[in-house]
A and B are shown apart, each in its own frame.
Chain A
Amino acid sequence: MFVLDTLTHRLKRGCETMDYPKGAPAALPDRHGGSLRVESSKCAERCSECAGVCPTQAIMPRAQKGVTLDLGRCIFCAACVEACPEGAITQTGDHRMAARTRADLVLGEEGREEVRLAPALDAKLRSLLGRSLKLRVVSAGGCGAEEADLNVLGTIGWDIGRFGIQFVASPRHADGLVITGPVSRGMELALKKTWDAVPDPKIAIAVGSSAVSGVPFTGNPEVLAGASSVVPVDLYIPGWPPHPLTILDGLLRLLGRLGNDRFTPPARPPAA
């Protein structure tokens, strides 16, 4: 009786996995705001109101006019958006923000107002990993939030198994590492050993602004400056923590499984 009940309920629910990436992705929560766009051309001369309110020092004034904002140091609190008198920093509502280099996450120069999204791996690596990517997750001072949203990708709603992506139990079974956290000094050795235990060719992915740059602990002697302090990073996914959609976009982008998709803002405009 019990087994039948369970099965009936399960059947009634049907398939609960999202359509994305075949269909459109679900909109981010309206108060999330998504990625940022920085237009230094709109800035007033010698204004750096935004840099003064940023809790993680992600914003640097430029010599003459305007600022640069490092999305890899950003915790998406939107204090700068509220502080800017000229509307030069805006939320785009876009969930996509994964990049291949740190420089691609720095916004604000002319022509570089938004993130330069990650191109796919080269053809050789794509042929090796494109349809089967096994990853070992190492939390190195991670607070548990990034880890939680990585786990979410394994649930039935997201089901990353359908892309051949899987989080595995041993570095010996893995094609690469996912690193979370700013890399506490207490995890330096363990991270290095885990990286060395992954067979070549291998990739490293930093998930969350902590792993990208070490924020908000930069300056504490107990932490390093993110994953690239110990391993060569191939993909940076900023966020505090990144929304599961942002992580999934980054992974699929790296594997060349998303086209040159254009972002359509969600129907509901992000609220301030």
Chain B
Amino acid sequence: MNAAQPFAQLTNATALPWPQVPDLPVSRLLEATAAELDRGARLCAWFGVPEDGATRLAAVLAYDADNVLAVARSHPTSGSYPSLTPAHPQAHLFEREIWEQHGLKPEGHPWLKPMRALRGGAPANAEFFRVEGREVHEVAVGPVHAGVIEPGHFRFQCSGEEVLHLEIALGYQHRGIEGALAGGPHRATQVQVEAIAGDSTVGHATAFASAMEALGGGEAPLRAQWLRLIALELERLANHTGDIGALAGDVAFLPSASACGRIRGDLLNLTALVCGNRFGRGLVAPGGCRHDLDTARLAEIGERLDRALADAEQACTWLWDAASVRSRFESTGTVSSKQANDLGLVGLAARACGLVRDVRYDHAAGWHRFAQAPVAVWPSGDVFGRARVRWLEIQRSGQMVREQLAGPPEGGVRDAAPEAAPDMLAVALVEGWRGEICHVALTGPRGEIRRYKIVDPSFHNWMGLAMAMRGQAVSDFPICNKSFNLSYCGVDL
């Protein structure tokens, strides 16, 4: 690791006094950020911090191989700055967001349009990219979709059946979560954080709790960190199993679809056994966890987990054995590892393109410092790869939870909620089941939240879905979409 001087280094789930974050001229920050991205750093967050009527740009970079993060900020600025996106597509959505939130224009951004701004009871989508040609036609889908699923708009440019381009327009779910955090944390903050993305409740709640604990200069009791790991892996198990079932359903392979639907429920019920809520709500809070597991409950979770995993193995074996399934999954919706790297994909979508990228391994924090599973990687980049990585992770997470249930650390699970120190910047990354959840918290002079930035893994990954659809048939969209299964509300916030 020899990150250049302009950046200050820190590790995951720690904090740094804001005055110690290097304060650079805008042009210097952009040069340095571009140079680091060229050297293989990854953009975790790129956002604005309002100050005296102007805006500071702030960058959080990850050096995965070196297990370290880096931060820097610009002098307050207004007007415009040269866009990073043309050379570094991973900055694409970040720069649109900065433009919308702070009016700071990225000069040279190739597709600058609103993300969440409203016009007449719907997002102000602006013009969509259009392909012209005699046989080119447009397919518009959403915001209300055919399934029981969140809203978003998809605009396909097609030549016959072939998709030339897909543009994804979100913003329908915007609930103002980041804005409401300013001046907080407020009484409803914890509950709002748990609803950033309902299927990633434990992931986001853990990132929030870790950030608040880092701001207070401490961490949760070890037993609480252990319990958070178990809850996080149970969340992963339930969602991965559900997704494999949904993928099976989309190719009309009903045995696995029915079985996985039920097993997913069994796994959600394990989380309910821990805290009463199937989605893990009310479990993780700054300072620790609100529930503990006694010996009897540990044993019951273990037994039921073993049964669920055995059932999942059976259901997945049917799937992998079926030639009809493999032929639909293989070479469908392929994203190359270069594309994945350029777009900054995270989580299972990145690992299914052969990228070894997993916060639990690269930036281990909490109990993941003491318990690790091998990173599950598959090189093919297609629907098969994304399904396969899910299955590998079911096996490995299942094994990890089993091991952890057998050896709980001593002690309590809850300390008093930490007091955030003034003028501190904390970064917390958590490997949610979709991928990297990033929370960046900055406090003001009284220790109140001055700026809170949330980056759901879907924020990085939606563009991956758009690229996966190029050259596919429109009819492959459902299966490609399922294979990513991204969150709408996680992006809309």
Q: Are A29 and B489 in contact (CB under 8 A)?
A: no
| Residue A41, interface by CB 8 Å | no
Chain B residues with CB under 8 Å of A219's CB are: 180
How does the 8 Å CB contact mask read for B245-280 relative to A, with 1 for contact and 0 for none? 000000000010010011011001100111111110
Chain A residues with CB under 8 Å of B265's CB are: 152, 155, 157, 244
| Residue B201, interface by CB 8 Å | yes
| Additional pairs, 17, CB under 8 Å, beyond known A184-B173, A218-B188 | A2-B318, A31-B275, A32-B272, A32-B277, A138-B151, A139-B151, A142-B489, A155-B262, A184-B175, A184-B492, A185-B118, A185-B174, A186-B492, A190-B121, A215-B188, A220-B176, A241-B198
23 contacts between A and B (CB under 8 A): A16-B262, A29-B269, A31-B275, A31-B291, A76-B277, A137-B148, A139-B148, A143-B195, A145-B279, A155-B262, A157-B261, A170-B146, A184-B173, A184-B174, A187-B122, A189-B121, A190-B143, A190-B151, A194-B144, A217-B176, A217-B180, A220-B180, A240-B281
Kindly list the 6 A-B residue pairs having the minimum CB-CB distance in the complex, ordered from nearest.
Answer: A145-B198, A31-B276, A189-B121, A143-B198, A155-B261, A222-B176
A30–B276 Cα gap in the complex (Å)?
7
* Residues of chain A at the chain B interface (Cβ within 8 Å): 2, 5-6, 9-10, 16, 29-33, 54-57, 75-78, 136-152, 154-157, 167, 169-171, 181-182, 184-190, 192, 194, 210, 215-223, 240-241, 243-244
A6-B318, A143-B197 are known contacts. Are A223 and B151 too (CB-CB below 8 A)? no
Chain B residues with CB under 8 Å of A222's CB are: 174-176, 179
Chain B residues with CB under 8 Å of A223's CB are: 175-176
Chain B residues 191 to 207 lying within 8 A of chain A, measured CB to CB, are: 191-192, 195-199, 201
A222–B488 Cα gap in the complex (Å)?
16
- Which of A54, A147, A187, A241 gathers most chain B CB within 10 Å? A187
B178 to chain A, nearest CB (A): 10
Chain B residues with CB under 8 Å of A149's CB are: 278
B197 to chain A, nearest CB (A): 6
Chain B residues with CB under 8 Å of A56's CB are: 188, 191
A171–B143 Cα gap in the complex (Å)?
13
A151-B148, A216-B188, A216-B192 are known contacts. Are A2 and B262 too (CB-CB below 8 A)? no
A145-B199, A155-B265 are known contacts. Are A55 and B279 too (CB-CB below 8 A)? no
Q: Are A220 and B291 in contact (CB under 8 A)?
A: no
Chain A's closest residue to B143 (CB) is: A190
A77-B282, A217-B192 are known contacts. Are A144 and B122 too (CB-CB below 8 A)? no
Chain A residues with CB under 8 Å of B191's CB are: 55-56, 75, 77, 215-216
Chain A residues with CB under 8 Å of B334's CB are: none
Chain A residues with CB under 8 Å of B380's CB are: none
Q: Are B487 and A188 in contact (CB under 8 A)?
A: no
Chain B residues with CB under 8 Å of A221's CB are: 176
A191 to chain B, nearest CB (A): 8
Chain A residues with CB under 8 Å of B172's CB are: 141, 184, 186-187, 190
| Residue B78, interface by CB 8 Å | no
A245 to chain B, nearest CB (A): 11
Chain A's closest residue to B120 (CB) is: A189
The contact size tier of chain B is 35 or more
A139-B149, A141-B175, A145-B198 are known contacts. Are A188 and B261 too (CB-CB below 8 A)? no
Chain A residues with CB under 8 Å of B171's CB are: 186
| Residue B321, interface by CB 8 Å | yes
A30 to chain B, nearest CB (A): 7
Q: Are B198 and A220 in contact (CB under 8 A)?
A: no
| Residue B403, interface by CB 8 Å | no
B128 to chain A, nearest CB (A): 17
B191 to chain A, nearest CB (A): 4
Chain B residues with CB under 8 Å of A192's CB are: 121
In-complex Cβ contact of B144 among A33, A57, A188, A190 (8 A): A190
Q: Are B278 and A243 in contact (CB under 8 A)?
A: yes
- Which of A138, A139, A167 gathers most chain B CB within 10 Å? A139
Chain B's closest residue to A191 (CB) is: B144
| Residue B133, interface by CB 8 Å | no
- Which of A169, A186, A244 gathers most chain B CB within 10 Å? A186
Chain A residues with CB under 8 Å of B187's CB are: 54-55, 57
Chain A residues with CB under 8 Å of B121's CB are: 185-186, 188-190, 192
Q: Are B151 and A187 in contact (CB under 8 A)?
A: yes
How does the 8 Å CB contact mask read for B96-125 relative to A, with 1 for contact and 0 for none? 000000000000000000001010111100
Chain A's closest residue to B256 (CB) is: A6
Chain A residues with CB under 8 Å of B120's CB are: 189
B383 to chain A, nearest CB (A): 20
A31 to chain B, nearest CB (A): 3
Chain B residues with CB under 8 Å of A10's CB are: 255
In-complex Cβ contact of A32 among B122, B175, B276 (8 A): B276
Q: Are A144 and B197 in contact (CB under 8 A)?
A: yes
| Residue B80, interface by CB 8 Å | no
A137–B279 Cα gap in the complex (Å)?
20
Chain B residues with CB under 8 Å of A167's CB are: 148
Chain B's closest residue to A187 (CB) is: B172
A144-B197, A145-B201, A192-B121 are known contacts. Are A186 and B282 too (CB-CB below 8 A)? no
Q: Are A186 and B122 in contact (CB under 8 A)?
A: yes
A243–B277 Cα gap in the complex (Å)?
8
Q: Are B123 and A186 in contact (CB under 8 A)?
A: yes
B363 to chain A, nearest CB (A): 25
Chain B residues with CB under 8 Å of A32's CB are: 272, 276-277
Chain B's closest residue to A33 (CB) is: B276
Chain A residues with CB under 8 Å of B118's CB are: 185-186
In-complex Cβ contact of A187 among B173, B196, B274 (8 A): B173
